[in-house]
Amino acid sequence: MVKYRIIAFLFSATIVISCTTKSDKEIPVLELKDLIVDTLYLEKDTKTKNLGTNFNYIKRGNEEFLLTSQQHRYIEYSYPEGKLIRDQFYEAEGPDGIGSFLQVNFIDDSSAWFVSNQKLIQADQYGNVLSRYDLPASPKDRLTVNYNTLSGTKAMNVDGKIIIPDVPFVLKEPLFNYENWLLEFDPKDSSINYVKFKYPTKYLDFLDDPTFATYQNAYNRTDDLHLISFPADDSLLVISPSSQKWIYAGVDDRMEFLVGRTEQKGEYTVFLQDGNTSKYSWVDYDPTNNVYLREAIITVDSESNRKEGRKPLTKLVVLNKDFEKIAEVILPHLTRGFSTPNGYYLYIGYPHSEDEVAFGRLDFSKINSLE
């Protein structure tokens, strides 16, 4: 009997050790250059100074293009040549005016979309306004809506319904019961719905700080999944039509989330963010490689950090289609990218001159060979 118990104990211990070893598999930490297999160069001129990274790939017949918009401009490039094909300006006033300040803009295959003064504006890609729609006013429990892509959040067209993020400037305690953060607007009948979620209660410790109010979002069209990245959470919130779940998407490094402070300047409150705080930034899904990507700003490149000998550190977290972390990639600077059928392109700066901007194409299949 004693012998049987010893054997049983050893068998159980073997199972525990085996499971622990499997779950503690070491995640490779790579350099960005290890994954870059090609470089896309987009030409610039004096008017296309800041292109950003929010490009949309489309194909017309046998020709391929990259489209983007910035405030009052629609910009079109040939792909993969990177030649500037068209730079279309939109009027602020008049019959085809889209307003002087644009909170939201994005491009789909055939239209340019803008939000100005609580109105959604649909224009063609040649400067002509097609339709205007009134967006929902602020409900009592929201205080005031802030439709906004200026903070890095994404608006998009999902099967004809326009998804528009509402982003609080700072968090106030009453907002923790609010959940209508992603507006789903149908231009066909002006009907509205929402992708609903709530801020975790831990953010009660991050009130009155713009850094921790701004979530980031992405979308997996294949599986109809909305992804929400909160700045002080190691996990992503994954929203499907039937459920919500948290998926770990953090880094092994220690993140230090530092709350700012407020000052009263006369009748105004000034929100002073802590410039040294860690935070999780954008999230994206690349359907070509079937991976999820998330940027983690671990150590900010600030003067005070450098004086203390702390080197800047930013990483890209890579998850596979099953939301398992497969790599951490050290980034040389803050960056962002976009997906094409040929792969995912990440902004890498100006390696040759200011006349062109470069994006590196990443091959995520190289991760296994570099472990």
d(CA 348, CA 367): 19
Residue 273: its pLDDT value, please? 92
314, two tokens: 């930013």
Residue 207: its pLDDT value, please? 95
Q: φ and ψ at 303, to 5 degrees?
A: -65, -40
Nearest of 55, 63, 150 to residue 359 by alpha carbon: 55
Q: Are both 350 and 366 inside the same structural domain? A: yes
- Residue 19, pLDDT above cutoff 50: no
- Residue 89, pLDDT above cutoff 90: yes
The three-state secondary structure class of 83 is coil
Residues 232 and 257: beta-carbon distance below 8 Å: yes
Q: Are both 154 and 233 inside the same structural domain? A: no
Q: Are both 268 and 347 inside the same structural domain? A: yes
Q: Are both 360 and 226 inside the same structural domain? A: yes
- Residue 79, pLDDT above cutoff 70: yes
Q: φ and ψ at 229, to 5 degrees?
A: -110, 115
Residue 251: its pLDDT value, please? 98
Single out the residue in 143, 165, 198 at which a domain terminates. 198
- Split at pLDDT 50, 70, 90, the class of 264 is confident
Q: Are both 59 and 169 inside the same structural domain? A: yes
Mean pLDDT over all residues of the chain? 90
Residue 11: its pLDDT value, please? 39
The three-state secondary structure class of 296 is strand
Q: φ and ψ at 18, to 5 degrees?
A: -60, -45
Is 151 a domain residue? yes
| Rounded average pLDDT over 332-349 | 96
pLDDT digits (tens, 9 = 90+) for 55-76: 999 999 999 999 999 889 999 9
Q: Are both 182 and 227 inside the same structural domain? A: no
Per the structure, the count of domains in the chain is: 2
Residue 140: its pLDDT value, please? 82
Provide the domain limits for residue 250: 25-53+217-371
Q: What's the whole-model pTM score?
A: 0.90
- Residue 18, pLDDT above cutoff 50: no
Residues 90 and 74: beta-carbon distance below 8 Å: yes
pLDDT digits (tens, 9 = 90+) for 300-328: 998 888 888 889 999 999 999 999 999 99
Q: Are both 150 and 48 inside the same structural domain? A: no
Q: Are both 188 and 78 inside the same structural domain? A: yes
Residue 142, classified by CB atoms within 10 Å of its CB into exposed (0-12), middle (13-18) or buried (19+), is: middle
Residue 51: its pLDDT value, please? 83
Residue 125: its pLDDT value, please? 94
pLDDT digits (tens, 9 = 90+) for 141-192: 888 899 999 989 999 999 999 999 999 999 999 999 999 999 999 999 999 9
Q: Are both 286 and 341 inside the same structural domain? A: yes
Q: Are both 154 and 49 inside the same structural domain? A: no
Residue 24: its pLDDT value, please? 60
Nearest of 282, 283, 284, 280 to residue 298 by alpha carbon: 280
